[in-house]
């Protein structure tokens, strides 16, 4: 019964305006990489999916988007929660997923295992939604690229050590590549594939 109520509860109270508000925060965050966007509305998905990641799922996923879940999320009630509230089907094939979700501390596989799009259709790539410990206080990285006037320092905490290598490889295959949404508590930090990251 507990699991059942978890599956049916926790979506947006006011879906139309909540989705609009979350989307605008995501749009502004993708347009200005490195800035931290605070979501005005939250969801409460079953553990271990974070509230901000849940809000992203409710805003962007539906029956047209296959979703890949990290092993821990796939084992939890999250897959049924996403299926019930968004209609998205959960896939096990990483390269078929339009969105991929990771809970805090989950192992992030190489980005090239996900859909990268093709040279003709680079938009057909996976968007990774990764929850981290915090969006500040980690290893400082200098970000440059479209949306950033000169440069901005980002320091998400709790990313794997190989993240920068993964990201550099992802940047190198532009226009193909994945896009990344980092979430923590009620905030998001978006990194489109155009952003270049370097150690300070």
Cβ-based nearer residue to other proteins, 62 or 133: 62
Q: Which of 153, 158, 150 is nearest to 185 (CA)?
A: 158
Q: Is 15 near other proteins (CB under 8 A)?
A: yes
Q: Is 149 near other proteins (CB under 8 A)?
A: yes
Q: Is 16 near other proteins (CB under 8 A)?
A: yes
Q: Are 163 and 189 in contact (CB under 8 A)?
A: no
Q: Is 30 near other proteins (CB under 8 A)?
A: yes
Cβ-based nearer residue to other proteins, 70 or 125: 125
Q: Which of 9, 90, 78 is nearest to 43 (CA)?
A: 9
Q: Are 166 and 117 in contact (CB under 8 A)?
A: no
Instruction: Candidates 53, 67, 98, 103: give the one binding other proteins (CB under 8 A).
Output: 98
Return the structure tokens found at 179: 């896009």
Instruction: Candidates 9, 17, 140, 162: give the one binding other proteins (CB under 8 A).
Output: 17
Q: What is the rounded CA–CA span in Å between residue 107 and residue 113?
A: 13
Q: What is the rounded CA–CA span in Å between residue 36 and residue 161?
A: 22
Q: Is 65 near other proteins (CB under 8 A)?
A: yes
Q: Is 49 near other proteins (CB under 8 A)?
A: no
Q: Is 21 near other proteins (CB under 8 A)?
A: yes
Q: Are 40 and 21 in contact (CB under 8 A)?
A: yes
Which residues are near other proteins by CB under 8 A?
15-17, 19-21, 23-24, 26-28, 30-32, 59-65, 98, 118-123, 125, 127, 146-149, 174-175, 179, 192-194
């Amino acid at each position: 019964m507990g699991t059942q109520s978890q599956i049916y509860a926790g979506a947006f109270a006011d879906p139309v305006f909540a989705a609009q508000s979350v989307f605008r925060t995501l749009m502004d965050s993708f347009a200005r990489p490195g800035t931290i966007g605070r979501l005005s509305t939250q969801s409460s998905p079953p553990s271990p999916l974070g509230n901000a990641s849940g809000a992203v799922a409710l805003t962007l996923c539906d029956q047209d988007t296959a979703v890949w879940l990290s092993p821990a999320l796939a084992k939890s009630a999250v897959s049924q929660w996403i299926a019930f509230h968004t209609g998205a089907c959960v896939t096990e094939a990483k390269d078929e997923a339009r969105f991929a979700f990771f809970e805090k501390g989950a192992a992030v596989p190489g980005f090239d295992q996900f859909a990268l799009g093709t040279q003709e259709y680079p938009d057909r790539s996976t968007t990774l939604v990764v929850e981290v410990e915090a969006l500040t206080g980690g290893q400082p990285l200098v970000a440059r690229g479209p949306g950033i006037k000169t440069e901005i320092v980002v320091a998400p905490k709790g990313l794997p050590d190989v993240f920068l290598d993964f990201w550099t490889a992802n940047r190198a295959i532009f226009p193909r590549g994945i896009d990344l949404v980092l979430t923590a508590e009620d905030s998001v930090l978006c990194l489109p594939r155009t952003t270049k990251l370097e150690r300070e």
